[in-house]
Amino acid sequence: MTSPAPSTDGRSARWDEHRLARRRELVEATLRAVRRHGPGAGMDEIAAAAGTSKTVVYRHFADRAGLYAAVADRVDGTIIRGITRAAGDPHFPAREPRDVVRAVIGAYLHLVEDDPEVYRFIVNAPIVPPGERPQGDVAAGMTGRIADHVATIVAAGRDDGVDPGTAHLWGVALVGMVRAAADAWLAEGAAGGGGSADDLADALTTLAWDGLRPRR
């Protein structure tokens, strides 16, 4: 006689859904705290923004590095959606490849301009103590995912059959250049210190597309 399959524990499923929803709420609360208090917002400010205690936050995230990683994933998704909308469908590009590159760079810089405190929180990760930091660039995971996505967009806009390895390196180089320029731009006051996000996007597109060849 075949024994019946075990039934799904509805209470367990509901608890999993509640836990995921609570994690999302805490991530959003972290973003609110960072926007209000700056990238150095600590666990006290985050717990206050969530209307709870630090103990509850730690219950959902093992440590500050875990909370940072969840926030980075959230911001990562926002940036990728932004550059995808700006570039259009990567499999059916409707514009010239140079225009797609300009759109991708501009979308990234406008997201930095619109949410500078969150950007600084992600790239500098002041909330993560030294003992919990990975070796190297703390934001490398996010930057790598964006670079992979940009590589797909750029490669789809070319008709010379660029190989995936080269496309990947192009994506890494492009995102690295834009990120370094964005960091310097913010440090100099962003649009308040001179050029706008669009001005910088135009300059970086010229550098990425035309290189440093002198104009004649």
**200 and 139 part of one domain:** yes
Specify the pLDDT at position 52. 95
Comparing 164 with 46, which gets the higher pLDDT?
46
Q: What are phi and psi of 98, to 5 degrees?
A: -65, -40
Instruction: Let me know the angle formed at the C-alpha of 210 by 204 and 215, rounded to the nearest 5 degrees.
Output: 110
Tell me the pLDDT tens digit for each residue of 166-175: 888 888 899 9
Whether pLDDT at 42 is above 80 = yes
Q: List the structure tokens of 144.
A: 């790598």
At 9, the amino acid letter reads D
pLDDT at 101: 86
Task: For the chain, give the longest Cα–Cα distance.
Answer: 87
> How many other CB atoms are there within 10 angstroms of residue 211's CB atom?
7
What number of other Cβ atoms are within 10 A of residue 171's Cβ? 22
Residue 25's Cα: distance from chain center in Å? 18
Task: Tell me, yes or no, whether 31 lies in a domain.
Answer: yes
Residue that has been written with the tokens 């135009």 in this structure: 202
Q: Assess whether 157 and 141 both reside in one domain.
A: yes
pLDDT for 212: 60
Between these two residues, 28 and 192, which has the higher pLDDT value?
A: 28
Q: Is pLDDT at 57 greater than 60 in this prediction?
A: yes
The per-residue pLDDT for 9 is 66
Total domains in the fold of the chain: 2
pLDDT for residue 116: 93
Q: Is residue 184 part of a domain?
A: yes
Segment 49-66 mean pLDDT: 92
Same domain, 53 and 92: no
Instruction: Indicate if the pLDDT at residue 4 is higher than 90.
Output: no
Exposed / middle / buried, residue 148 (Cβ in 10 Å: 0-12, 13-18, 19+): middle
Does 215 fall in a domain?
no
Residue 216 in this model has a pLDDT that exceeds 70: no
| Mean pLDDT (whole number) for 51-57 | 94
Kindly state whether residue 2 falls inside one of the protein's structural domains.
no
Tell me the pLDDT of the chain averaged across its residues: 84
The residue out of 61, 78, 103 marking a domain boundary is: 61
Tens digit of each residue's pLDDT (9 = 90 or more) over 78-126: 888 888 888 775 554 556 778 888 888 998 999 899 999 999 999 888 9
With beta carbons less than 8 A apart as the criterion, state whether 68 and 128 touch. Answer: yes
Please give the pLDDT value at position 96. 75
* Residue 142 confidence (pLDDT): 78
Neighbour count for residue 40 (Cβ, 10 Å)? 13
One domain for residues 73 and 180: yes
Confidence of residue 5 (pLDDT cuts 50, 70, 90): low
- For 199, the domain range is 69-210
The two structure tokens encoding residue 145: 């995912």
The string of pLDDT tens digits covering residues 67-77 is 999 999 999 88
**Alpha helix (H) ranges present in 115-161?**
116-124, 140-156
Instruction: Look at residue 62 and tell me whether its pLDDT is greater than 80.
Output: yes
| Nearest to 43, CA basis, from 71, 25, 64 | 64
Model pLDDT for residues 28-39, shown as the tens digit of each residue: 999 999 999 999
Residue 93 CB burial class (10 angstroms; 0-12, 13-18, ≥19): middle
Both 20 and 82 in a single domain? Answer: no
